[in-house]
Amino acid sequence: MSKIKILHMYADMLDLYGDSGNMEVISYRCKMRGIECCIDKYSVDSEMPDFSSYDLIYIGGGADLEQQHISDDLQKCKDGIESARKNGSFLFLICGGYQLMGKYYRDADGNDIPGLGLFDYYTAAEPNRRKRCIGNIVIRTEFTGKTVDIVGFENHGGQTKDVKTPLGSVLYGHGNCTKSSHEGYFEKNVIATYMHGPCLSKNPEISDYIIEYCVNRNSDTPVKLGKLDDDLELKCRDIMKERLLNK
Ligand code: GLN
């Protein structure tokens, strides 16, 4: 039986709009295929884990205050997370977690929360607190050569710039900045997005891209995941797409 090991970081602080649900979706989709899925939690002052031993490191979203609360602790994890990414662990990051892997997050008052600087992008909030990117969002992306439209919900003041390889192009909503053409950040073993929802519940292709990567990352004989019945999930997504794109 294959097995994947997940580290869910700061689940008690960074969990907006049901972001923890993403781990339930991954865990369910593994179970349906007979893949063992072990999820460990890490939070402020937990014992320092061996980050590279995890196939997937997951961080959800949180408001400025929560980002400040975890900031010092996150810096202690910098070397571990950086090495894990280099060693091929997958990073899945939502909103506040996405912002903190870049150079910095500057809040509406101009205070900086340092990021881990794993990527070149940086984020600054709109000085006017009322100007936030809030609402449903649809983006178009590609996983292993297949075009996929993803739906989610965004709520951020942060404007993320200098994103070299975005996750997708925006069909509806804002994305990395107000009325941006692009959303998120994407590398082979990194998906970062502003999409809450939780993001994976209506977008099974993202879950399966991550699971397939994790299952195969240390294997000489890569396997393809078996199909699941995603009828309901895809119907939900189609309804949202229809509502948002054809109005
Ligand atoms: N505090 C950040 C912002 O407002 C992140 C919010 C979030 O995670 N939804 O930009």
Active-site annotation holder among 77, 95, 133, 214? 95
pLDDT in tens, 191-206: 999 999 999 999 999 9
Question: What pLDDT was estimated at residue 160?
Answer: 98
Percent residues over pLDDT 70 in the chain: 100
pLDDT in tens, 220-245: 999 999 999 999 999 999 999 999 99
Work out which ligand 1 atom sits closest to the CA atom of 67. Answer: 1
Q: Is the CB of 184 under 6 A from ligand 1?
A: no
For residue 99, count CB atoms less than 10 angstroms from its CB and return exposed for 0-12, middle for 13-18, buried for 19 or more: buried
Work out which ligand 1 atom sits closest to the CA atom of 158. Answer: 10
Please check the confidence at residue 247 and state whether its pLDDT lies above 80.
no
Q: Is 208 left (phi over 0), alpha (psi -120 to 50) or beta?
A: alpha
Can you tell me which residue has the tokens 């994947």? 4
Please check the confidence at residue 73 and state whether its pLDDT lies above 80.
yes
* Catalytic annotation present for 177: no
Percent residues over pLDDT 90 in the chain: 97
pTM strictly above 0.85 = yes
Give the distance (Å) from ligand 1 centre to CA of residue 230. 30
pLDDT in tens, 157-170: 999 999 999 999 99
* Catalytic annotation present for 156: no
Nearest CA-CA partner of 205 in 243, 239, 242, 167 = 167
Q: How far is residue 49 CA from its own chain's centroid?
A: 20
Question: What pLDDT was estimated at residue 1?
Answer: 73
pLDDT in tens, 18-37: 999 999 999 999 999 999 99
Cβ pair 60, 13 in contact under 8 A: no
pLDDT in tens, 205-217: 999 999 999 999 9
Work out which ligand 1 atom sits closest to the CA atom of 60. Answer: 8
Helices (H), 77-199: 78-86, 96-100
Q: Is the CB of 62 under 6 A from ligand 1?
A: yes
Of 8 and 130, the structure prediction assigns the larger pLDDT to 8
pLDDT in tens, 119-154: 999 999 989 999 999 999 999 999 989 999 999 999
Q: What is the CA radius of gyration of the chain?
A: 17
Active-site annotation holder among 8, 174, 196, 199? 196
